[in-house]
Structure 1
Amino acid sequence: MLQDALAEAGYPARVLVACSGGPDSLALAAVAAYFARRGHVDGHPVSIGAVVVDHQLQPGSAAVAAAAAVTLQELGLDPILVRKVEVAAAGTGPEAAARDARHAALETAADDTGASAVLLGHTLDDQAEQVLLGLARGSGTRSLAGMRPVRGRLLRPFLGLRRIETLEICGVEGLDPWHDPSNTDVSFARSRTRVEVLPMLEDKLGPGVAESLARTASILQLDADYLEQVADDTFARLQQRTGTEFSQELSLPEAALRELAPAVRFRVIAKAAAAVGGQQPSYQRLLAAEALLRRQGSAGPVELPGGVGVYRLSLAQLLAAEQSEAGQSVAGVPREGARCGKLVFRPQQRPQD
C-alpha cells in the first residue's frame, strides 16, 4: 500500500511520516522504515524521516512525544522532528482545532526538511467513522466523500487497512504503541462512533459495514470531483467582477443560474462567496441565497459567513443604471447583456488601518 501511494505521488525523494506513537502511525512508520533502509522505492531514491506533533492537550504529552521519537530513531528514520502546537479554542470544536494545528505543523515540518510528501496513518476504520459522522450531521457530498488518499502533500496509504491490522504489524515488529485515552472517551462524537456506533452496526447488520462505508466514500469522491470541476468551469464562465482594488464585488446572471442543475448552482453560489473573501456557507445559508432567484424586484441582502452579503439586483435596476451611464458597462455587464437580473456578492466594508 505504501509503495503504491508513493508511486501515485510521483516517487517523492524526501518523505516524512506523521507519527503520534499510536498503533496506526507506528505501524506506518515501521513499513516506511523498510523502504528507508533500502534507500529507494521501485528504484527511485527516497529519504524518509518523521515528525511527532505534541498537541499538549493531556498530562504527560511531552513524554509520549519523546518516547515516540526514540522509537522512530530506532527504526532508522531520519530526521526526527518533534513539534509542539497550541490548539486554539475555536468554534469548530476541539477535534477540528487540533487537526488544523497538526496539519499546520506538518506543512511547516515538510517545508523545513524539503519533504514533498507527508504520510498519515488513517485507516479504513477512520474512513468509516468519518462517513458516519457526516451522515449524522446531514453533510453533503464533499463531507461524505471522507478523507482523500492524496490531498496536496498529505498521503494516506493505510485507508484500505483495518485498525486491527495495524496492531498486528506492531506486534510482528515488536513495537509497543501508545494508546490515546481520548480515543475511548465517549464525550467525543468520534469516540462514541468508534466505541459504540460502528460495533453496534456490525453486530446488527453483519460484518462488512466499515468496508461498505469506506467504499461509499470512494464512490462519492469521484462524484464530488466531477461536480467540483463542472462548478469551477461554470463559475469561471459566469462571474462578472466590478469594484475597486480595495472593494471587490462579484455578480452572477440570474437567468444562467436558474438553468443550472441544483447541485451545480449551489456550488457556484458558494464559489462566488469565497471569491470575495467569504467562507464555505452552510446548506441553510445557501438555500437562503438561492431563494433570491425566486424574488421579484430587488431583494436581500442575505448574510453569508465571512462577512459577505448577497442580494438580487433586478432587471429594472440594471436598465435604469444603464441609462444613467449613457450606455457604458453596468456592474460588469455591457448594455446588450443586461437582459436579466443578477445576484451580487459584496464583502463587508472593513475599517481602514
Structure 2
Amino acid sequence: MSEPLALVRRQVREFLTGFKGVEGEVCVAVSGGADSLALAEATAYAAKRFGLRTRALVVDHGLQDGSDAVAKKAAETAVNLGIDTAEVLTVDVTGPGGPEAAARKSRYAALREAGGELVLLGHTLDDQAETVLLGLGRGSGPRSVSGMRPLDPPWGRPLLTVPRTATVEACAALGVEPWTDPHNADPRFTRVRLRTEVMPLLEDVLAGGVAAALARTAAQLREDTEALDTLAADLFTRAAVDGCLDVTVLASAPPALRRRVMRRWLLDSGVPELTDAHLRGVDALVGRWRGQGGVWLPGHLEVRRAHGRLKLSEPVPTT
C-alpha cells in the first residue's frame, strides 16, 4: 500500500474512532475530485471496522454543460470504491455574493438536508491554509482566521492535516482518475488565484512549509477562540435579561468577551450580516458611553442604551 493512501485511511479511521455520535450510517460529500474520492474510499474502508453503512452525496450545481454526467460518474466511482450507496443532489444556484458564494450556499444546504448526523467533507491542509489567508486578507478576525473545524456537526473534516498532493497520489494508487473541475483553474475565482499564484509565491519566499504553518496557526487560534467563547457563554447568561443586555454586567468584562456576547445576542435576535464595525459600534454603548444615540444595524434595526440595558428596536418599515 502506498504511504499517501495509508495516510488518508489512517486519518479517516482516527477521526471516526474519536467521533462517538454517529450510528448506522455516515455520509460523504463527493465531487469526483481527488480529495473527495480519496476520502470516500478511506471512509468505506474504515466503516467496515465500525459496522457503519456509507452513502455518497454528489451535488450537481448545473453550472457547466455535462454536469449531470460528471455527477453520475462521481456517484458510480464512489460505489466502485466501496461506498454502499450514492445519490445525486441537483441544486439551483442563485443568490447574492457571486457564483462562488451562491454555489457554496446551495451545496451546503443540499448536503445538510440529505445527510444524517455526520457528513464528511474532503477539505485538506491546503484548503485550510487558503481559508486562513482569505480571513487575514479580509480582516475577518480570529474566528475566521482560525479556519475550519475538524468537527462542526454535521460536518466532519478528517483530512485537514493531509496535503492535497497525498489525495492525488492516493487516487493514483487506487487506479482512479479524478475529475478536474475547470472552475479550479479559472482565475476569476479568488481561491483559484490564492492556490495558483499566492501560495506558490509564499512557499518560494518563505522557503516552504507555509501551508502547514498556516494550518497550525488556525489550530492555535481555534483553541483560543473556543476558550473565549466558553467564558463569553457564562457572561451572556449573567447579562441577558428579558431580551436585553445588562450594561452593568457587561461593563466590567474585557471588550473581546463583551463583543462575543453582543454577537450572540444580535444573531439570536435575527440581525443579519453582522460586521466587526457593527459590533464595535454596539460595544461603544458600553465601553465608551457618553450619552450617544443608538447604532443602526442591517435589517433596519437599532441598538440603543436605556435604563442600564442594551435594547434592540423593532425593524423600521421601509417605503
Equivalent position of 1:274 in the other structure: 267
Decide whether the 8 Å contact of 1:6 with 1:12 is kept in 2: no
Where do residues 1-353 of structure 1 align in structure 2 (5 Å cutoff)?
1-10=11-20, 12-36=23-47, 39=48, 41=49, 44-90=50-96, 92-110=97-115, 115-241=116-242, 250-293=243-286, 294-297=288-291, 299-313=292-306, 318=307, 341-348=308-315
Quickly say closer, same or farther: Cα 1:222–1:200, change in 2 above 3 A. same
- Deviation of 1:301 (Å): 2.5
What value does the CA root-mean-square deviation take over the aligned residues? 1.7
Task: Give the AA of the match of 1:105.
Answer: A
Aligned to 1:166, what secondary structure does the other structure show? helix
- Distance in 1, matches of 2:317 and 2:223, equals 39
Query: CA–CA distance in 2 between the matches of 1:153 and 1:236?
Result: 26
Please report how far the alpha carbon of residue 306 of structure 1 lies from its aligned counterpart in structure 2 after TM superposition. 3.7
TM-score by length of 1: 0.82
The structural deviation recorded for 1:166 is: 0.4
Q: Secondary structure at 2:303's aligned position in 1? A: strand
Cα deviation for residue 350 of structure 1 reads 7.0
Do 1:270 and 1:280's aligned partners in 2 also have CA atoms closer than 8 Å? Answer: no
Q: Secondary structure at the match of 2:200?
A: helix
Amino acid at match of 2:192: S
TM-superposed CA distance for 1:119, in Å, is 1.1
Name the CA distance, whole Å, in 2 between partners of 1:17 and 1:176.
18
2: CA distance between counterparts of 1:15 and 1:307? 42
Q: By how many angstroms is 1:173 displaced? A: 0.3
Structure 2 residue matching 1:300: 3-state secondary structure? coil
Task: Give the deviation of 1:349 after TM superposition.
Answer: 5.8
Alignment check: 8 A CA contact 2:142 2:225 kept: yes
**8 Å contact kept, 2:12–2:46:** no
- CA shift, 1:19, in A, is 0.4
| Partner Cα distance (1:194, 1:12) in 2 | 37
Indicate the structure (1 or 2) with the bigger Cα radius of gyration: 1
Q: Deviations over 1:227-276 (max 9, x none)?
A: 111112111111111xxxxxxxx322323322111110111111221232
Consecutive unaligned residues in structure 2, runs of 5 or more: 1-10
Work out whether residues 276 and 347 of structure 1, in 8 Å CA contact, stay in contact via their aligned partners in 2.
no
Distance 2:234 2:94 in 1: 36
CA shift at 1:81, angstroms?
0.6
CA distance in 2, matches of 1:214, 1:74: 32
Give the distance between the partners of 2:57 and 2:37, measured in 1 at CA.
Answer: 12
* Alpha-carbon displacement from aligned partner over 1:165-200 (angstroms, at most 9, x marks no partner): 100000000001011111121111111110100110
Percent of aligned pairs with the same amino acid: 45
What residue identity is the alignment partner of 2:105? Answer: D
TM-score by length of 2: 0.91
- Matched residues, number: 306
* Inter-partner Cα distance in structure 2 for 1:307 and 1:7: 47
CA displacement at 1:280 relative to structure 2: 5.0
Q: Taking CA–CA contacts closer than 8 Å with sequence separation of 6 or more, which of the two structures ends up with the larger relative contact order? A: 2
Residue type matched to 1:342 in 2?
Answer: R
Amino acid of the structure 1 residue aligned with 2:255:
P
